[in-house]
Structure 1
Amino acid sequence: METLTAIQTELGILQGRDCVYLNTLIQDDFGQLTLSGDINGHLIYNNTNKKDWISYQLVFQQVLAYFSCELDTYEMIENNADYQSSFVMVNASRWIEKLPIRKDIDCSLYKHYRFYTYDFVYDILAVDFQMTIDY
């Protein structure tokens, strides 16, 4: 059964629809997906940084697949309205289990990440991610 685990960023746990704003999304030819924008400092659980808005860049490495959907529509898909954070790991992912992945790819390396922004939700299968915060 799928479960969600909030990802602890260096700022804390990102929470709420108004927490993450996306300005750009870039997919490159090397399997990287880069998202950048701003985080509402007032909607970070355990936030020690007192800034109102904090710029971020989130880079997913070795992306196998990603899916995006408008937030309100996404919440109606299979009861996806129950989330504890704007950035989570999907454990025991049904998507990884059902995706017809090539036989030469080691599926055990991939993780399922979910990133909720103000307008869209992104499900991403990637080996890893790196988040850079601009204080």
Structure 2
Amino acid sequence: MSDQIETISTPLGIINGRDAIYLDKVEELFSPHCLSFSGEFNSALCSDTNDEENFISYQIIFEEILIFDCQHLDYCKYEVELLSNFDKVNSSSWMKSFNVPAEYIHYRFATYDYLYQIISKRYKLILEESGK
């Protein structure tokens, strides 16, 4: 069975577009093992906002990560398999290749420059309007 990609709807809706997610900081924490991203979403590229271009600060934390990968978006072989900037991969061949337990989820998070693939148990999204 091949990868089945599904968009993730956030409180801002579906996030989609090369300029949709700006990344300022990535932090890997080890106790517990988490990966934290912070930056800004371009609200004009979020499906459930009525704003013109406004920037909304975010922090997204992927919790209990097992594996992650980062590739520059211009050179990434997975770009054709993205439905949005934040997707979930069901029946993930990548997870199967590592024999990952079923309670983990394969996420794809595409920022302006990079595609992160993350296998973790869950994520938490924190939003704050920045008014840029």
Per the alignment, residue 96 of structure 2 pairs with 97
Q: Is the 8 A contact 1:62 1:126 kept in 2?
A: yes
Per the alignment, residue 11 of structure 1 pairs with 12
- Within 5 A, what are the aligned runs for 1:115-134? 115-134=109-128
**CA positional deviation for 1:49:** 5.4
Question: Which segments of structure 1 move beyond 6 Å, counting only runs of 4 or more?
Answer: none
**TM-score scaled by length of structure 1:** 0.88
Deviations 1:54-95 (A, max 9, x none): 000000000001000000111xx2x63242210000111011
Per the alignment, residue 22 of structure 1 pairs with 23
Residue 134 of structure 1 aligns with an amino acid whose one-letter code is E
CA distance in structure 2 between the partners assigned to 1:47 and 1:7 by the alignment: 15
Percent of aligned pairs with the same amino acid: 31
CA distance in structure 2 between the partners assigned to 1:81 and 1:100 by the alignment: 25
Residue 35 of structure 1 aligns with an amino acid whose one-letter code is F
- Within 5 A, what are the aligned runs for 1:53-132? 53-74=55-76, 77=77, 80-99=79-98, 107-132=101-126
Q: Is the 8 A contact 1:11 1:49 kept in 2?
A: no
Aligned: 1:46 with 2:45: no
**CA positional deviation for 1:48:** 4.3
**TM-score scaled by length of structure 2:** 0.90
Q: Is the 8 A contact 2:5 2:81 kept in 1?
A: no
CA distance in structure 2 between the partners assigned to 1:52 and 1:23 by the alignment: 16
> How large is the Cα RMSD of the aligned pairs?
1.5
Residue 79 of structure 2 aligns with an amino acid whose one-letter code is N
CA distance in structure 1 between the partners assigned to 2:119 and 2:127 by the alignment: 22
SS at match of 1:72: helix
- Stretches of structure 2 that go unaligned for 5 or more consecutive residues are none
CA distance in structure 2 between the partners assigned to 1:84 and 1:70 by the alignment: 17
CA distance in structure 1 between the partners assigned to 2:5 and 2:39 by the alignment: 23
- What is the total number of aligned residue pairs between the two structures? 127
